[in-house]
Amino acid sequence: MIDMIVTDPTLLIEYTLMAMLLAVGVAIVRLRDLFAVVMLLGVYSLLSAAWFVSLDALDVGFTEAAVGAGISTLLLLAAMLLTARSAEPVSAIRHWSAFAVALAGGAALFYAIGDMPAFGDPDAPANAYVGLQYLERTQADIGVPNVVTAVLASYRGFDTLGEVVVIFAAGLGVMLLLGMGGRKPRKDGEGEE
Amino acid sequence: MIMLWINMAVALAVAVAMALMLSRLFAGPTLYDRVLATNSFGTKTILLLLVYGVLTGESAVTDIALLYALINFVATIAILKFFRYRSLEIALAQMSLRRAIGGGDDE
């Protein structure tokens, strides 16, 4: 353990983050107080964002922090305020069947890992065909040091624009259906738990 | 080598603080304990990221940590505001005024 830490000191941080992700995940499943669950989901997003950063995926980490810890916490909070404050207890059989489904899904993913090319394999599809072209030409074509950002925002700029339009249309549709600001706030139980 | 151990000790201390915040987040009991714990946990996440940046020598992590700090702050304010007013549409400047008149919640 000590040798591993000296050769790769960031391992300890990654293990810490993963252990905390696990603890938060278990707590989200166990807790019945929905406000605590919403807060914990925000913490979960923040932790996974930090973990993405430790995996050198800065873009993904930033998006996860903005969307997961920022916006979705508020959305879930708003949804919770419209419904109940605490979840009803779920029967044990449903717990275990959900656990079995999750376990089967995880096992399938682990089974699929075996077919993946090794990390950094020069013959892997990501390193062999069009990816090389992107790596060679991005600096000259666009001049952005981060290739992922260049592909997303410049090479596939129209694609990304189309996605933004779709999301905007979806949001507009939800707003039209639900109405904005027309709802009177409830008067009972303000502020406290 | 000494610097490495110092950095690791700092990371460990921050991790212990994070675990303490998590225990407060799990146990509650009131809403404000949890909001405070979430905010503090976010701050510790930022500190851990910064230690990570120092360990690996990547300066880009500092920018990300700054962005996390901004998001953390805004999210905490938004959560508290949402719980007080059940809406994000009221401007912060009007809040004290509304409370002074006594019409904050039933308009």
**Does B106 fall in a domain?**
no
Residue that is written with structure tokens 């994070």 in the block: B18
**Does B41 fall in a domain?**
yes
Interface test with B, best of A13, A24, A45 (most B CBs within 10 A): A13
Looking at residue A175, what is its pLDDT? 83
Dist CA A72 CA A66 (whole Å):
9
Mean pLDDT to the nearest integer, A42-57: 85
pLDDT digits 0-9 by tens, A114-142: 888 877 777 777 777 777 777 788 778 77
Q: How many domains does chain B have?
A: 1
Q: What is the topology classification, in CATH, of domain A1-87?
A: Four Helix Bundle (Hemerythrin (Met), subunit A) (1.20.120)
Dist CA B73 CA B43 (whole Å):
9
Looking at residue A165, what is its pLDDT? 93
Give A37→chain B minimum CA distance, Å: 9
Under-50 pLDDT residues of chain B = 103-107
**Does B31 fall in a domain?**
yes
Task: Give A2 or A139, the one with higher predicted confidence.
Answer: A139
Give A53→chain B minimum CA distance, Å: 7
Cβ within 8 Å of A, B 49-88 = 49, 51-52, 55-56, 60-61, 64, 67-68, 71-72, 74-75, 78-79, 82-88
Mean pLDDT to the nearest integer, A92-98: 84
Task: Say which amino acid occupies A39.
Answer: M
**Does B107 fall in a domain?**
no
Q: Which of A23, A39, A192 sits opposite B38 (nearest CB)?
A: A39
Q: Which of B34, B60, B67 sits opposite A65 (nearest CB)?
A: B67
Pick the residue from chain B with its C-alpha nearest to A20. Answer: B19
Q: Residue A191 above 60 pLDDT?
A: no
Q: Looking at the predicted complex, does its ipTM rise above 0.90?
A: no
Q: Select, from the ranges A34-38, A139-143, A153-157, the one with the highest average predicted confidence (pLDDT).
A: A34-38
Q: Which of B34, B88, B105 sits opposite A185 (nearest CB)?
A: B105
Mean pLDDT to the nearest integer, A52-66: 80
Query: What residue spans define the domains of chain A?
Result: 1-87, 114-182
Q: Residue A91 above 90 pLDDT?
A: no
Looking at residue B103, what is its pLDDT? 47
Q: Which of A6, A49, A77 sits opposite B82 (nearest CB)?
A: A77
- Which among A181, A140, A163, A148 is positioned nearest to A57, based on CA atoms? A148
Q: Residue A166 above 90 pLDDT?
A: yes
Q: Residue A186 above 60 pLDDT?
A: no
Looking at residue A105, what is its pLDDT? 96
CB–CB contact A46 B45 (8 Å): yes
Q: Residue A77 above 60 pLDDT?
A: yes
The domain of B80 spans 2-101
Does B39 contact chain A (CB < 8 Å)? no
Which residues are within 8 A (CB) of A162 and not within 5 positions of it... i.e. 6 or more apart?
Answer: none
Looking at residue B27, what is its pLDDT? 83
Mean pLDDT of chain B: 79
Task: Give A56 or B65, the one with higher predicted confidence.
Answer: B65
Looking at residue B78, what is its pLDDT? 82
3-class SS at A33? Answer: strand
